[in-house]
Amino acid sequence: MTQTTEKASPTATAGHAAPAQPAVDFRTEPAKYRHWSLTFADDVATLTMNVAPDGGQRPGYELKLNSYDLGVDIELADAIQRVRFEHPEVRVVVVTGGIDRVFCAGANIMMLASSTHGFKVNFCKYTNETRLYIEDASENSNKRFLAALNGTASGGGYELALACDQILLVDDRNSAVSFPELPLLGVLPGTGGLTRIADKRKIRRDRNDVFSTLAEGIKGKRAVEWDLVDRIAPLSRWSEAVTEMAREMADGLPSGADRKSIEWSRLEYTVKGASRIYGNVSLVVSEDGRQGALEIQLPKDDAGWPKSAAEARDQGAKWWLLRTLRELDDALCHMRLNLPEVGLVTLRVTGPSAELAAKADSLLSDNHWFTTEVRHFAKRVLKRYDNTAKSFYAIADEGTAFGGLFLELLLASDRQYVLNDADAPVSLALGSASFGPYPMSNGLTRLETRFLGDPTRVDALRDELGQQSFVVLDADTADEMGLATSAPDSIDWDDEVRLAIEERVAYSPDALTGMEANLRFAGPETMETKIFGRLSAWQNWIFQRPNAVGQRGALHCYGTPQRPEFDYRRT
């Protein structure tokens, strides 16, 4: 891993020793891709999957038949970000395979069989977030995605196709789409797969049932009839059919030819044991490795801030706000995959004032393509925070600046502790960011979710804001309006926060993960909450059952002469 010489925050201390396994690095770029190639022709991008069999993220398995692991998905996520920021002129992205008769065989089975349970869950979560980012780009970035299935798409490979807007399947008498997890592996595509064929493509229940039990899948005209794909094309005119369909999709969107791109530059950070120190974000891990202190440091003033969306675009990835969001996103991924023992993370946003923090929102409401992309990126980072299986406590004490977009991080936390001290006044800045642009996975704002039982509280906060871009609330007012879990004075502050932290880290992490997943998404269920809810429940449970992972479970017997042995009792 590349290390930089960037200086750490003076308050940061070295964390405990680095994990035994090499830390996952989420940074990459097209020149370093091993599994994808990204090419451009005017307003059409082509993303070709050609997985290097020997390019696994760790030793012990071979990535046959375009099967994927976390490293493959890290490249895919990077490619999607680059298409959005570096190629705003692109209107259609063609996702296809680079191997004859195979699009993608799905997640690599040997990788799954040899992974810890926690890694499997976090891998599935990252994979699903990446597919949701494709759908978000389609909804918000003047782009459409065409899955050009040049061969069979199985399991997660078909899930990737389902995330695209349209699916074209080659009609060569062999290529099919399939969900073989249940008949072959004793598990199921119970997150993105089953959810998308039922909720997104709205295929009939009985057909879904049949499809999900056919290991060989469905191909040709029947796949079109059942709406599993949108079109088929013979091998003899495959290239022409892909081009025609992509052109048809692109012509249905406004031109983006006048959009000036930015460079999606490499993130840099300093590694200190398990801790990472970025430019504006620091994640410091305690000596025992059980707690993390996440701090976002805002600029000292607004000198050098862009005055318009065009100026923000000119600053590109160096714009402090975009840089901060990227650093926070990387820190969250680091916590998930590299720091499984960290159970509780305290969050502080520091800066001169919450008022200054709220001022950062003004440009994000502009409809310029770049600030629109940054706004949606902020939405995705906040959702990553929501979906991270750690306990988050927001600490608003002296020197903190929770305002506007950064107030959303406080509201996204499991608890909010706000110091109420006249000698060290603390305030929160409520802005328009809390009333719409950053919905949770349930489709509601964090305020609407927080006050689901009393919507009048949201109305009262909106009235408090009025026509202003933001309003500053002192600790007493914030507490009265329901924005604080607790607002102790300086006499009780240290003891109350310390006891809350000590209590939390003493609980079962399994029970806490289940509790938090149940409590964070109150209200309506959406396709997105189903995906992550099922990931935390069905997939979490099934991947621990002996029928899947026992010595004679389906995952261990796959690819061997042995047949799996099942306990046939229903639970």
pLDDT tens digits, one per residue of 66-122: 999 999 999 999 999 999 999 999 999 999 999 999 999 999 999 988 898 889 999
Angle among Cα 107, 113, 119 to the nearest 5 degrees reads: 75
Asked whether 393 and 440 are in contact (CB, 8 A), the reply is no
Determine the pLDDT at residue 559: 86
Give the helix ranges, DSSP H, for 343-455.
354-359, 369-386, 405-412, 446-450
Determine how many CB atoms are found less than 10 A away from the CB of residue 458.
Answer: 20
Same domain, 226 and 294: no
CATH number for 419: 3.90.226.10
Query: How far, CA to CA in Å, does 188 sit from each of 44, 548, 556, 565?
Result: 34, 10, 15, 17
Domain co-membership, 80 together with 225: yes
Q: Give 203 or 187, the one with higher predicted confidence.
A: 203
The confidence score (pLDDT) of residue 6 equals 34
Residue 8 has pLDDT above 60, yes or no: no
Q: Please answer whether residues 146 and 166 qualify as being in contact, where contact means their C-beta atoms are separated by less than 8 angstroms.
A: yes
**Residue 536 pLDDT exceeds 90:** no
Host H or E run for residue 391: strand 391-396
Does residue 476 contact residue 487 with C-beta atoms inside 8 Å?
A: yes
256 lies in some domain: no
Which residue carries 């009839």 as its tokens?
225
Cα–Cα distance for residue pair 91/393, rounded to 1 Å = 41
Res 188: pLDDT: 87
Asked if residue 537 has pLDDT above 80, the reply is no
Residue with tokens 């709205």: 202
**Whether residue 3 has pLDDT greater than 70:** no
**Cβ partners under 8 Å of residue 270, min gap 6:** 3, 4, 5, 6, 7, 8, 276, 277
Determine the Cα–Cα distance for residues 25 and 122; give it in Å rounded to an integer: 15
- Shared domain check, 398 and 301: yes
How many CB atoms sit inside 10 A of residue 202's CB? 10
pLDDT band at 21 (very low <50, low <70, confident <90, very high): low
* pLDDT at 28 exceeding the cut of 90: yes
HSE of 323, CA atoms in CB hemisphere, 13 A: 21
Residues 30/34/39/44 CA torsion (nearest 10 deg): -100
Distances (CA, A) of 306 to 61, 161, 281, 309: 48, 39, 21, 7
- Alpha helices by DSSP H, 320-415: 320-338, 354-359, 369-386, 405-412
Residue 557 located in a structural domain: no
Measure the CA angle with vertex 84, ends 97 and 370; round to 5°.
175
Distance between CA atoms of residues 17 and 285, nearest Å = 10
Judge residue 7's burial from the number of C-beta atoms within 10 Å of its C-beta, 0-12 exposed, 13-18 middle, 19 or more buried: exposed
Residue 275 has pLDDT above 80, yes or no: yes
Q: Residue 519: is its pLDDT beyond 80?
A: yes
In the prediction, which pLDDT does 542 show? Answer: 85
Of 510 and 275, the structure prediction assigns the larger pLDDT to 275
User: CB within 8 A of 94, min separation 6: which ones?
Assistant: 44, 45, 46, 47, 146, 148, 242, 246
Same domain, yes or no, for 326 and 178? no
Q: What is the per-residue pLDDT for 232? A: 98
Do residue 145 and residue 275 come from a single domain?
A: no
pLDDT tier at 534, thresholds 50, 70, 90: confident
User: Is the separation of the CB atoms in 391 and 508 below 8 Å?
Assistant: no
Whether 133 and 162 map to the same domain: the answer is yes
Q: Is residue 185 part of a domain?
A: yes
Question: pLDDT (tens digit, 9 = 90+) per residue, 543-567?
Answer: 888 998 899 999 889 889 999 999 9
Q: Express as a percent the part of the chain with pLDDT over 70.
A: 96
CA–CA separation, 277 vs 263, rounded Å?
Answer: 23
Out of 251, 280, 304, pick the residue that ends a domain: 251
What per-residue confidence (pLDDT) applies to 520?
Answer: 92
Q: Are 27 and 295 in contact (CB under 8 A)?
A: no
Chain-centre distance for alpha carbon 289: 24
Whether pLDDT at 13 is above 80:
no
Asked if residue 10 has pLDDT above 70, the reply is: no
Q: Which of 515, 544, 562 is the last residue of a domain?
A: 515
Given a cut of 70, is residue 494 above it in pLDDT? yes
Mean pLDDT confidence for 457-478:
95
Rounded Cα gap, residues 192 and 169, in angstroms: 20
More confidently predicted of 19 and 531: 531
Indicate whether 307 and 230 sit together in one domain: no
Q: Is residue 500 in some structural domain?
A: yes
User: What's the domain count of the chain?
Assistant: 2
Q: Which two tokens stand for residue 225?
A: 């009839």
Q: Is residue 72 part of a domain?
A: yes
- Would 447 be classed as within a structural domain? yes
Same domain (yes/no): 247, 278? no
Pair of tokens at residue 571: 């639970």
Whether residues 493 and 457 fall in one domain: yes
- What are the strands, taking DSSP E only, across 155-226? 166-171, 176-178, 218-219
b/e code 185-197 from CB counts within 10 Å (16+ = b)? bbbbbbbbbbbbb
Same domain, 181 and 305: no
The answer to whether position 315 is within a domain reads: yes
pLDDT at 281 over 90: yes
CA atoms of 558 and 105, how far apart (whole Å): 14
Q: Which residues contact 100 (CB under 8 A, 6 or more apart)?
A: 150, 151
For residue 468 the two structure tokens come to 């202003």
DSSP 296-339: EEPPSSSTT--SSHHHHHHHGGGSHHHHHHHHHHHHHHHHHHH-
415-418 and 391-396: which strand pairing?
A: parallel
> How far apart (Å, rounded) are the C-alpha atoms in residues 454 and 235?
59
* Cα 568 to the center of its chain, rounded Å: 36
The three-state secondary structure class of 20 is: coil
Q: What is the pLDDT of residue 2?
A: 35
**Do both 377 and 455 map to the same domain?**
yes
DSSP symbol at 266? P
Sheet strands (E) in 196-310: 218-219, 231-234, 270-272, 275-277, 281-285, 291-297
Name the band, by pLDDT with cuts 50, 70 and 90, for residue 18: very low
Q: Is the pLDDT of residue 533 over 50?
A: yes
Which of 491, 515, 539 terminates a domain? The answer is 515
Q: What is the pLDDT of residues 418-445, one digit of tens each?
A: 999 999 999 999 999 999 999 999 999 9
As a whole number, the mean pLDDT across the chain is: 93
Question: What is the rounded distance in angstroms from the CA atom of residue 380 to the CA atom of residue 320?
Answer: 18
- The answer on pLDDT for 16 being more than 90 is no
Q: Which residue has the higher pLDDT, 22 or 41?
A: 41
Comparison of pLDDT for 191 and 393, the residue scoring more:
393
CA distance 467 to 410: 23
Write out pLDDT tens, residues 204-231: 999 999 999 999 999 999 999 999 999 9
Residue range of the domain that includes 53: 30-251
Is 322 domain-assigned? yes
- What is the pLDDT averaged over residues 298-309? 94
Do 245 and 303 fall into the same domain?
no
What's the average model confidence in pLDDT over 463-470?
Answer: 93
Give the pLDDT confidence of 115-150 residue by residue, as tens digits: 988 899 999 999 999 999 999 999 999 999 999 999
